[in-house]
Amino acid sequence: MKKKQPISTGSEWTFKLVEKYDQEISRVAEFYQLDTYPNQIEVISSEQMMDAYASTGMPLMYSHWSFGKQFLNTQQNYRRGYMGLAYEIVINSCPCIAYLMEENTMTMQALVIAHASYGHNSFFKGNYLFRTWTDATSIVDYLLFAKNYINKCEERYGIDAVEDIVDSCHALMNYGVNRYKRPAPLSTEEEKARQQEREEYRQRQLNELWNTIPKQENKGKNKKEKRFPDDPEENILYFFEKNAPLLETWQREVIRIIRKVAQYFYPQRQTQVMNEGWACFWHYTILHHLHEEGLVTDGFIMEMLHSHSNVVFQPSFDDPRYSGINPYTLGFNMMTDIRRICENPTEEDKRWFPDIAGSNWLETLHFAMKNFKDESFILQFLSPKVIRDLKLFSIRDDENLPYLEVEAIHNDEGYRIVREALAAQYNLGNREPNIQVYNVDVRGDRSLTLRHYQHQHRPLGKTTPEMLKHIHNLWGFDVHLESIRDKKVHSSYHCPPKEVEEEKSMIELT
């Protein structure tokens, strides 16, 4: 191939150059069939980047002290040089917004464009979770609505009152998502109209629920009181929004807003390894492609590789820098490995991946990106080679034993076990305690009972009493939390806290 002239040779960037690089990157991305939302690339200063960080990367967000805390933390770390500001913040919206920091070199700008504007962007558009759960065209609108609404509430009811409810909602954010029910996308206009409707309807429904006039026909018939809700509800915020007895209408709307935001971020939490791996794979592949064509210099590639390897660096478990598996490393290695399996399969690959060994790598990779989340992706595609390369091993920690045991390592016997263990590790269902709304004492003291179903006998952590306070804050009446192990109540928490004696005597009685 005849080498072309490099686009640029220096490290300084200009808008002209950014545009040129973007054109070339876009051309290569198309060559690799990356399907993206339109791109909006914004050049910002480092202070603005810190701002963006502080509001979970969103271009606009309601105000809250915790974002201020986040900001101060970022600022502190940045000033001390603990972290370079990440060179990528990218927003799952249409157009897809990516930020370039003005302090970066031309190489870094090109890297970010390839990584965010084509890597992440195509992931947002292609992956099934995002397709199902997020509506890229309306998120910015919705956030604007949310910001204005919360602003208005602050004016009306005071910052403290709003903060109070937002704090509690933030605490329960991970319990404000639907895992299975599929939402119908709504535009902001519809959203506004529906909000009005909800205000009235909800109050009526509540009156029904909390109706204290005894019902004649039920007398004596149902010996066993029916539970409310009929089935346990795992979306706790949703349950509060609809059923908490004492909340004002605006408070329900705030709950709803935070629930929506949580839902929007839910796919991101389930696809971290894939999303980052995909983006890293593509910046690596696209920029090398440009290098082969002669459009970027050797120096450019050296600098790119330098920051690339910083990003995908994985310290070993015994390294002081170790803080778990680096999702960038795992994702990048797996994506690269899928291409290898397709292009140059070994005997082992043919045994392990008969379907994809030798197939078209680009098709296979796109298929993997579209149809999996971290858990299933690892279960499906983690190869013995990657396990060997990363020297993965699985440790079993059983509280009944005085020691930890090495359950499996990177050998024939261990591959499958390691793979399953790692996949399980990315299952949000395992990572977060499984807590559901179990019962409300509708006819009695209106107390709320939550149930925690222990996973592998794992108890709840130290923050549980704090969490119960937040739940109590939203519910307004007594809150109980039962931790279930082997179908028995293993331990329970109460807010307001119960006297220990009282609890004992109750157990004796029953």
Partner 1 sequence: MSHIIDRRLNGKNKSTVNRQRFLHRYKKHIKRAVADAVNKRSITDVESGSQITIPDKDLSEPIFHHGRGGQNTIVHPGNKEFVKGDKIRRPEAGGGSGSGSGRASNQGEGMDDFTFQINHDEFLEYMFEDLELPHLVKKQLKESTAYKFRLAGFTSKGTPEKLNIIRSLRSAHARRIALSGSDRKEIRELKRELREMEVNPGAYDEIRAKEIKDRIRELNIKLRRLPFIDEFDLKYNNYVKTPVPSTKAVMFCVMDVSGSMTQEIKDIAKRFFILLYLFLKRTYKEIDVVFIRHHTSAKEVDENDFFYSRETGGTIVSSALELSRDVIKERYPVQDWNIYIAQASDGDNWEGDSTICSDILVNHIMPLVQYFAYVEITDRHHQNLWREYDKITEEFPNTFAMQQIKSVNDIYPVFRQLFERKEA
Query: What is the layout of strands, in order, in the sheet containing 479-485?
Result: 434-440, 448-453, 479-485, 488-495
CB of 175 to partner 1, least distance (A): 7
Q: Is 463 in the site for partner 1 (CB under 8 A)?
A: yes
Handedness of CA 433, 436, 441, 442 (dihedral sign): positive
β-strand 479-485 against 488-495: which pairing, if any? antiparallel
Q: Which is nearer to partner 1, 292 or 398 (CB)?
A: 398
Q: Is 433 in the site for partner 1 (CB under 8 A)?
A: yes
Q: Which stretch binds partner 1 (CB under 8 A): 12-20, 177-185, 192-200, 300-308?
A: 12-20
Of 309, 316, 488, 500, the one binding partner 1 (CB under 8 A) is: 316
Q: Which is nearer to partner 1, 357 or 494 (CB)?
A: 494
Q: Is 310 in the site for partner 1 (CB under 8 A)?
A: no
44 Cβ contact list (under 8 Å, min separation 6): 52, 99, 100, 101, 102
CB of 407 to partner 1, least distance (A): 6
Q: Which stretch binds partner 1 (CB under 8 A): 19-27, 291-299, 300-308, 502-510?
A: 19-27
Q: Is 68 in the site for partner 1 (CB under 8 A)?
A: yes
Handedness of CA 101, 103, 106, 107 (dihedral sign): negative
| Contact positions with partner 1 (CB under 8 A) in 137-176 | 159, 163, 167, 170-171, 173-175
Element (H, E) at 489: strand 488-495
Q: Which is nearer to partner 1, 186 or 460 (CB)?
A: 460
Of 7, 13, 24, 26, the one binding partner 1 (CB under 8 A) is: 26
| Contact positions with partner 1 (CB under 8 A) in 401-420 | 402-411, 413-414, 418
130 Cβ contact list (under 8 Å, min separation 6): 92, 123, 124, 136, 267, 271
Q: Which is nearer to partner 1, 311 or 357 (CB)?
A: 311
C-alpha 133/C-alpha 237 separation (Å) is 17
Q: Which stretch binds partner 1 (CB under 8 A): 215-223, 275-283, 288-296, 426-434?
A: 426-434
Q: Is 18 in the site for partner 1 (CB under 8 A)?
A: yes
Residue 335 CB coordination number (10 Å): 26
Element (H, E) at 137: none
Q: Is 271 in the site for partner 1 (CB under 8 A)?
A: no
CB of 278 to partner 1, least distance (A): 19
State both tokens at 282: 């593509």
β-strand 434-440 against 96-101: which pairing, if any? unpaired
| Contact positions with partner 1 (CB under 8 A) in 99-118 | 102, 113, 117
- Collapse the DSSP code of 68 into the 3-class scheme (helix H, G, I; strand E, B; otherwise coil) and give the result: helix
